[in-house]
Chains A and B, each alone.
Chain A
């Protein structure tokens, strides 16, 4: 470690020479890496927004349980109290006949006058149960089996669709991560191999003088790291600009989509891209370095 810091200036100067030796090719590699990481950031931002949407919908997941006709309000409340204590239930509350009618009025809006045609309130009281998504089956069965419950209605179709969408987004994110990882890894390791090939005479001389592999390889690892991080920084910049533009556009036209706070999303994506580029740069460079022969002969 002492030797690393002692030679740090030399390593940086060698790194610059390695980059400069093949400048045009390295710039193209950086732009390629930036583009790939930009696409990665885009998918991860979509996945982040999607996950938040799903989480919110999951929180909203609820079922409705209707009572037998002979159940009194007191008995209905007892059933609600019992249900609230069941595993997988977030909360349960009794929706009275009046509240049910008011909700329908709200949904119908201008058409609500149709309800005036009914002499009596046509709505029944029911139990509104907010549940955890993964406990839906069990909760429904338990509630259905309760004495005094006539039937249970769920919004499973919507929830299933949301689940499928979430799954698809997760798989897409995973595939994109793998694709980005593999492509960037190949670009960086190829870039390092190219650098090693261009400097093969120098490397050979250093080996003949007894230089350890670490001493020879460090400038190449720094070069790989630096170029990938620059690619990552460009991608982050692009994503940040895009998110700002997308937010200002979406908030006007699609106000009902529950977007995460812009700074939170940008911070998360930028951190992700820089971390990924750091890791890929480091391991890609190490992989590229393996092309230095290791038989000690220096031939």
Chain B
């Protein structure tokens, strides 16, 4: 599903964000990525989404090589990823339902299926009663849950959540982590980055990645 071989990411200002990344993530994996702010967690997710390209090494996600010039392939790849962004990236002026549906409109799904999938996802994150609310009227925690609903309603192969608990109080943060983990199944890998190590679960089969100054330490418990 995700294969990285000696991947390095260096930004144009010479910042070395990631060094010598070697990892393999399989369908159904639950992956926690931890590390202090600025350690390279978000950069790693950006590589997985094709927002950044490796400076060296080989990275393939869902069979798609992530490199410059693969625009069409990377667009297709993104359609099989459910991203939950740090800053949510919800579309203002639209309702909760419209935001969730927008992520599916270009996947070739029927209107009825889109509506049903969006409603189901919103119910799963506990926002079934907020379908018609405008996203700018939601609390931080609710907006985070809409972002999760948008990501999972697409039935993606990979859910990528970047600091999903940032700015949330403890109870809300725990709740968000539980919701995200609940979408893991045999076909869907869930990858979560966080600097709040106390929120990480102790699942026996999870993969734990610690990043420090761009260096990865991988610990697979199973």
Chain A contact residues, CB within 8 Å of chain B: 3, 6-7, 10, 17, 201-202, 204-212, 215, 294-299
Contact = CB atoms under 8 A, between A and B. Distances in A.
Interface centre among A6, A10, A202, A205 (most CB of B within 10 A): A205
B50 A209 contact: no
B89 A296 contact: no
B187 interface: no
B93 interface: yes
A298 B51 CA distance: 6
Contacts of A204: 89
A215 B50 CA distance: 20
Given A205-B89, A208-B51, A296-B70, A215 B75 contact: no
Given A208-B51, A296-B50, A6 B75 contact: no
Contacts of A297: 50-52
Contacts, number: 62
Interface residues of B, number: 30
A185 to B, nearest CB: 27
B154 to A, nearest CB: 8
B51 A299 contact: yes
Contacts of A207: 75, 78
B79 A210 contact: yes
B40 interface: no
A295 B71 contact: yes
A204 B76 CA distance: 16
A296 B93 contact: no
A6 B110 contact: yes
Contact of B85 (A7, A208, A212, A295): A208
B170 interface: no
Interface string B160-188: 00000000000000000000000000000
Contact of B105 (A202, A215, A294): A215
